[in-house]
Structure 1
């Protein structure tokens, strides 16, 4: 019986990705012409508004406020989820204790958390960061626990035989096994964190990109509104392609087949 040769996964086609972007822009242009300038700006109008917006002082104030909230909220939420996931992966009792809380946080609608946080913290950064941490931690926790439970038990026993301490086991055994699921979870958490921060700012903040979006909506300035949408999309793209994907390649390069 001939051995089955497994083909390496194909890389994402950049040409087709570009075609997808052009398709989105074409759909946007057609929708804007159908709805009119009051309801939707065209891509050209949004780009012009974005260029003017970047040159204003208010843009940098709102952008820095949102970036600070995203960094603190997503970073803290992911660290808490990772730490609890590692501990719960080792201890079935702790895993059972945390399971109802994990289910509750993943099941409750974010808008409910926003309303409660507004009552507890009022408007401002504390409310936005609290919501982001609370919503980001469960996803990282689940991915960490799943990765811990999938580690080969024979390797775990071997680490105990050679008397690897907790730090050596985490560094040389668990982190390589967790690299792929954690980087995927970090990508999802970052993109979700940006959306969550903007939503919280729209509903109850006095600064930030979401606050500026709400102002543009209230004044029916569709050009500025869609300019902020473009700038938020560029932020997510920058975080993914300039930060998260290089980290993912670095952490998972040991999985790539050797050509020697």
Structure 2
């Protein structure tokens, strides 16, 4: 979201003009390979800056710093006041950044593979533009809400989010006829009793961000690749189904001897 127009305009676009947020800034068909690589490098720098803007506040709040261990000896030789604090911050920043990075990579692969298969792709760079800005805003927002639910004393709302994940695992496992149990056990229905106002608002924000996220991917496919409506919907469906693919891959991987069991 860190474009030249500024963060404020970027936030306005994210809420009211998502089509403008994900629209590509490149003329790929008229640009040399060197120019395209330069644009991709610039986009990568912008994305990494957005990742840090997402991960740094979470790290400062203490998310992801557990289990950092002792700092390496090199920090003792650097002019830092507290090597332990610096090490914990670096570890937490890395852990929190990798979470968003993994989600971005999976989305990027899902979207671009779907475009290539349907013969609608107009280049990887155009896909990268829409995915980078979608994940930098909406996916990062979803992750932040999930962290908030786990940290802000909203146990009912946090349990609902966990139950959704367990229900997904259980459904896929049952469909595959697997005898494995979902991580954390099978959900015993969704319990809304005792849901706090903050928890309800957070869950509503999570649903809204998820809708924005999928809609922005639809817009990015339509605008940047000039794909038709059906193809764009198939791309969105592929991204929405990626958690199912992850569960299936996890189940299949259990048959490999070197993979830890659920």
Instruction: Give the TM-score, by structure 2 length.
Output: 0.27
Higher Rg of the two aligned structures: 1
TM-score by length of 1: 0.28
Which structure dedicates a bigger proportion of its chain to helix?
1
